[in-house]
């Protein structure tokens, strides 16, 4: 419990003074409401007598608070002659209470939005800095659920439910104290059901938490399904798969619906059954109070106000229990957030930082994913690349080409062997240095829902247009962009959905070339362009002013044949290394692919 409360307390940082002011206004509001209701008792006592004397003249029947109110309104004689003053008192106390309630609401709104901004910003900031290997193992729906639904549950508990808990506790304490000053026997009767409520609560809260956690997890699956289908809408439509996806989504939705109904039924059953105890307590207090009034132990006004205050004691107890149930829901949300926050940042600055030139050496490198250490995807891989060379990686799908590129960019850490850049061990170079000097163009590049120009300037915000035009021309995309409705200011749809596959790849390539990195990796990034465009791009890459080390992952022999070096991958290792002519003469896998592709062409 301590860690959850500490987490919630940290969320109020920067807003604690306002938060405390809000709690103070709650106490003031409750006290004003109590004074207003107690003034009603005095109004009733003005018109009732005990032993021939008006009750307002009998201090022992008014209690300390009643005597205080009578005093501030001018005393018994003044009140009896000006009974309208009590009506003003009732209205006045009520208006002051409403005023404090409004101010409290405004403060809570400010604190609410501030805390919401902080939670979501910190979650987003942490997710952005998580290692790639961690993000890859998580469902996107889990992240979305945590950033949206769990954030809302936790924020509402901190800014609303906790305030309500404080308000109900204060109401209960003040009401019970006043009730004790009026008639201590009624005060004891008013709390008789509280132990039963607490015992009842102890039996249901754990089950309610389990049911809510299952519901929350199921909702995350639904959100993930929506996100996945929106991102893959082209594939769904291309394969005429809408009906299947709808049916699958319906299964997930039904699971969420069933779990939600099960949780809400259980919660509603608890609320309804606890209401029986609450109403039973109020009725019992009314019956005892009626008996005391009948025998003349208390006044009618005292019985009325005692019944009112009994409700103010017992209802808050029920509300406290509901708040504690909501606390159990908040702890589920905190657990999901802590799973993110407890995952360490990716350390970008540990290691050397220098300007990379472009020499690369792999020496007996092996790597396996954490969930399958017994089956390495890279095995004893060795090759050397000199700066400024263009090197092609070829091989079957799953042979380790892209994984090798990921090792070079430190998205994964190799298990054994050595990777050196400019003679420095890769593990001794900081990730920030590596990613500043190595750029990667992916087969399926991600473009943001912004203009073409903003996507190109994603890294270099102030890149001059001359440099941008040079990069897009190299990627054979400049004339195409000029043909768009608004040129470089044309808005790209989410994930580049308004562009063809080849156009997305070429914009992503231009974006990478704009950085002028000493090492550039093209991960099958020309797969969606035609052969003629492929030739133009590779020719432009060779003649551009900035000479970088280019690693081209490709399945096309035509793309690879003009490279300075070709590395052929099979089962995670390099089986053939050499130029196009050398590999043709070796009569191995490369020659076989060459013959197949040239025959097709």
Domain ranges of the chain: 2-341, 360-600
With CA atoms as reference, report the closest residue to 319 among 108, 180, 160, 184: 160
Q: CA 591 to CA 93: how far, in whole Å?
A: 94
pLDDT at position 211 over 90: no
Query: In the block, which residue shows the tokens 């003074």?
Result: 17
pLDDT score of 284: 76
- Mean pLDDT for 199-221 is 77
Residue 186 · residue 310 · CB < 8 Å: yes
Once rounded to an integer, what is the mean pLDDT over residues 64-76?
Answer: 79
List all residues 6 or more positions away from 438 whose beta carbon is below 8 Å from its beta carbon: 356, 408, 409, 517, 518, 519, 520, 521
- Residue of 475, 472, 474 lying closest to 490 (CA atoms): 472
| Domain at 2-341, CATH class | mainly alpha
What's the rounded Cα separation, in Å, for the pair 332 and 153? 9
Give tens-digit pLDDT for 284-325.
Answer: 777 877 787 777 777 777 777 777 767 666 666 667 767 777
Q: What is the DSSP-derived secondary structure letter of residue 346?
A: P
Percentage above 90 pLDDT, the chain? 10
Over residues 164-202, the pLDDT tens digits come to 778 777 877 777 777 777 777 777 777 777 777 777 776
Burial class, 237, CB count within 10 angstroms (exposed 0-12 / middle 13-18 / buried 19+): exposed
Three-class DSSP category at 492: coil
Window from 76-85, 104-113, 547-556 with minimum mean pLDDT: 76-85
Of residues 483 and 209, more confidence is placed in 483
Q: 361 phi and psi, to 5 degrees?
A: -140, 125
The mean pLDDT of 122-139, rounded to a whole number, is 80
Whether this model's pTM surpasses 0.75: no
Contact 421, 360 (CB under 8 A): yes
Going edge to edge, which strands form the sheet with 416-421? 378-385, 360-367, 416-421, 424-425
pLDDT at res. 497: 62
**Strands (DSSP E) along 323-407, which ranges?**
360-367, 378-385, 390-395
Rounded mean pLDDT of 14-32?
A: 84
Instruction: Please indicate whether the domains covering 2-341 and 360-600 agree at the CATH topology level.
Output: no
At residue 545, the pLDDT reads 52
Indicate the CATH number of 360-600 among 3.40.309.10, 3.40.50.300, 1.10.1660.10, 3.30.1180.20: 3.40.50.300
Tell me the mean pLDDT in the region 117-143.
80
Residues 491-510 pLDDT 10s: 886 655 667 777 888 888 88
pLDDT score, position 601: 52
When mean pLDDT is compared across 218-227, 244-253, 314-323, the lowest value belongs to 314-323
| pLDDT top residue among 391 and 202 | 391
Q: Which two tokens stand for residue 255?
A: 């699971």
> Could you write out the three-class secondary structure of 219-266?
HHHHHHHHHHHHHCHHHHHHCCCHHHHHHHHHHHHHHHHHHHHHHHHH
Q: Could you tell me how far CA 386 lies from the centroid of its own chain?
A: 45
């Amino acid at each position: 419990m301590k860690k959850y409360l500490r987490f919630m307390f940290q969320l109020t940082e920067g807003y604690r003074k306002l938060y405390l002011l809000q709690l103070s206004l709650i106490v003031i509001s409750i006290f004003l409401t109590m004074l207003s209701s107690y003034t009603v008792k005095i109004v009733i006592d003005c018109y009732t007598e005990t032993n021939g004397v008006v009750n307002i003249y009998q201090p022992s029947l008014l209690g300390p608070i009643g005597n205080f109110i009578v005093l501030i309104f001018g005393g018994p004689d003044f009140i009896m002659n000006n009974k309208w003053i009590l009506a003003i008192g009732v209205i006045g106390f009520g208006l002051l209470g409403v005023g404090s309630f409004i101010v409290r609401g405004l403060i809570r709104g400010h604190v609410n939005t501030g805390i919401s901004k902080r939670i979501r910003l910190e979650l987003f900031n942490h997710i952005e800095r998580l290692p790639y290997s961690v993000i890859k193992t998580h469902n996107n729906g889990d992240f979305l659920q945590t950033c949206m639904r769990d954030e809302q549950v936790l924020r509402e508990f901190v800014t609303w439910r906790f305030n309500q808990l404080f308000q109900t506790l204060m109401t209960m304490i003040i009401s019970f104290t006043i009730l004790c000053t009026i008639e201590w026997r009624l005060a004891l009767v008013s709390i008789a059901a509280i132990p039963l409520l607490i015992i009842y609560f102890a039996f249901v809260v754990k089950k309610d938490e389990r049911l809510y956690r299952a519901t929350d997890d199921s909702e995350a699956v639904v959100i993930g399904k929506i996100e996945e289908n929106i991102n893959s809408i082209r594939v769904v439509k291309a394969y005429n798969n809408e009906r299947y996806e709808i049916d699958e989504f319906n299964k997930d939705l039904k699971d969420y619906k069933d779990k939600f109904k099960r949780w809400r039924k259980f919660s509603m059953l608890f609320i309804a059954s606890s209401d029986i105890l609450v109403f039973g307590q109020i009725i019992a207090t009314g019956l005892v109070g009626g008996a005391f009034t009948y025998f003349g132990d208390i006044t009618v006004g005292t019985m009325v106000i005692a019944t009112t205050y009994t409700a103010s004691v017992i209802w808050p107890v029920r509300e406290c229990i509901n708040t504690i149930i909501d606390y159990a829901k908040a702890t589920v949300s905190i657990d999901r957030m802590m799973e993110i926050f407890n995952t360490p940042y990716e350390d970008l600055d540990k290691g050397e930082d220098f300007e990379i030139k472009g020499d690369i050496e792999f020496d007996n490198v092996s790597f396996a994913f954490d969930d399958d250490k017994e089956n390495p995807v890279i095995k004893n891989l060795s090759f050397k690349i000199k700066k400024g060379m263009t090197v092609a990686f070829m091989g079957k799908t799953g042979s380790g080409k892209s994984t090798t590129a990921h090792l070079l960019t430190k998205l994964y850490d190799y298990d054994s062997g050595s990777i050196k850049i400019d003679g420095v061990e890769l593990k001794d170079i900081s990730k920030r240095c590596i990613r500043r000097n190595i750029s990667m163009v992916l087969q399926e590049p991600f473009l943001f829902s912004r203009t073409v120009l903003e996507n190109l300037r994603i890294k270099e915000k102030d890149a001059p247009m001359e440099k941008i035009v040079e990069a897009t021309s190299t990627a054979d995309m400049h004339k195409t962009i000029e043909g768009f409705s608004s040129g470089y200011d044309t808005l790209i749809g989410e994930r580049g959905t308004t562009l063809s596959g080849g156009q997305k790849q070429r914009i992503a390539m231009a974006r990478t070339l704009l950085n002028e990195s000493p090492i550039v990796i093209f991960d099958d990034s020309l797969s969606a362009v035609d052969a003629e465009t492929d030739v133009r791009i590779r020719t432009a890459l060779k003649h551009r002013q900035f000479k970088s080390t280019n690693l081209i992952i490709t399945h096309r022999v035509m793309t690879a044949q003009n490279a300075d070096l070709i590395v052929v991958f099979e089962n995670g290792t390099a089986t053939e290394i050499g130029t196009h002519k050398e590999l043709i003469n070796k009569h191995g896998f490369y020659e076989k692919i060459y013959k197949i592709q040239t025959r097709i062409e």
